Structure 1
Amino acid sequence: MSSNFHIFKKDIEQALDVLRKGGTILYPTDTIWGIGCDATNPEAVEKVNQLKGRAKDKSLIILLDNDNKLSSYVREIPDVAYELIEYSDKPLTIIYSGAKNLSPNLIPPDGTIGIRIVKHDFCEELIHRFRKPIVSTSANLTNHPSPKNFSEIDEEIIKGVDYVVNYQQEDQQENSASTIIKLGPSGQFDLIRKS
């Protein structure tokens, strides 16, 4: 067994424990490092907003490990969504109408929610075991640049979360945020952000 595998397993267990208790984590994703919490827990979502100094009316992205789970959190999913997820070669966040079963303070007045089906070993395992979606917002203070890797994360963020994942901290690869598209109920979509 490699030491990396032991770090991975220990991080999963610790992160799960914190998420189940309504805490916040700092963790690697398929894009940039994120601040995460239970996406169904209003107090946990509020902690994330406070840590970032973020306005309450700004929406947050959530991560799922499998597109089969989309229907648990979105009222109607246009068929094209599954094609976009399957054929996207880069991380893709889709904003859907009709969010449901999520913390009310995650959902803006228009009822939309940004969801990314994550393709990343740590996130997939964590979300699969947690059995709920996890918030993912860039690990930076509001109006500060997003960190391209762990070494660029502000000390205030590191000290402000309940658990910092060790896995992939040494990775110096420069990552960028996901592409975001907004998908209408009839399948029309608008590009919001290109990665």
Structure 2
Amino acid sequence: MSDDDLTEAAAAIRRGEAVVYPTETVYGMGADATNPDAIEHVFEIKGRSRDKPLSAGFPDVDAALEYVVADETEEAFMRRFLPGPVTVVVERRDTLSDVLVDGRRRVGVRVPDHELARDLFRAAETPVTATSANRSGTGSITHPSQLSDEIRDAVAVVLDGGTTPGTESTVVDPGRGVVHRRGAMADEIEAWLEAND
């Protein structure tokens, strides 16, 4: 994996194409989360139903707060657990495409605890879709060698970061105190929610 690969992947995202990148959980599929056509392309590649929202990835919490609205509790939660294997559900601003979340007001925010993923998001200079790099209904990808030919052919660049742990992120709505999916750090997250209720 070279700097050229990263530059090429970021340029592909800006052009509206999709790329595959590693995170601290599984491999993700990234496209410009403000571009409806790019998001549609991700849904098509994955064979994913449009009513299953995609999350948006950011290099840091401050970058995320430019695209979402977080109250005091939500921001405190984000600053405590991000970067990390957590998807934080908060209200989106209109700069994130309706297509991302099927018109819903809330969106999942990811700031991966993975340097290469965050470098990609920074270089792309736009929020990037954060969804697993697999066809819907099939297992998550923990190494580029597991990518289907179908996905490999459909994306512009695959960033190889070696093997990822494979544990899914915990999906949590801290403003409502709801854990939608238990994954990495779930016990710690639930303890925080209880303490800050």
Please identify runs of 4+ aligned residues in structure 1 that moved more than 6 A: none
Residue 77 (structure 1) shift: 0.5
Residue 16 (structure 1) shift: 1.4
Asked if the contact 2:21/2:158 (under 8 Å) is kept, the reply is yes
Pick aligned residue for 1:13 from 7, 16, 19:
7
The one-letter amino acid of 2:179's match is L
Q: Distance in 2 between matches of 1:78 and 1:133?
A: 20
Listed as ranges, the matches of 1:2-151 within 5 Å are 7-74=1-68, 76-88=69-81, 90-151=84-145
Aligned to 2:194: none
Listed as ranges, the matches of 1:145-184 within 5 Å are 145-165=139-159, 167-168=160-161, 171-183=162-174
Asked if the contact 1:99/1:113 (under 8 Å) is kept, the reply is no
The one-letter amino acid of 2:74's match is A
| Structure 1 position 194 matched with structure 2 position 172 | no
Q: Distance in 2 between matches of 1:109 and 1:18?
A: 26
- In the comparison of the two structures, how many residue pairs are matched? 182
Structure 1 gap ranges (5+): 1-6
C-alpha spacing 1:109/1:16, structure 2 compared with 1 (3 Å) = closer
Moved more, 133-142 or 115-124: 115-124
SS of 1:97's partner is strand
The one-letter amino acid of 1:100's match is D
Residue 63 (structure 1) shift: 0.5
Normalised by the size of structure 2, how large is the TM-score? Answer: 0.84
C-alpha spacing 1:19/1:110, structure 2 compared with 1 (3 Å) = closer
C-alpha spacing 1:173/1:162, structure 2 compared with 1 (3 Å) = closer
Structure 2 gap ranges (5+): 184-197
Moved more, 18-27 or 114-123: 114-123
C-alpha spacing 1:173/1:39, structure 2 compared with 1 (3 Å) = closer
Q: Distance in 2 between matches of 1:173 and 1:148?
A: 5
Normalised by the size of structure 1, how large is the TM-score? Answer: 0.85
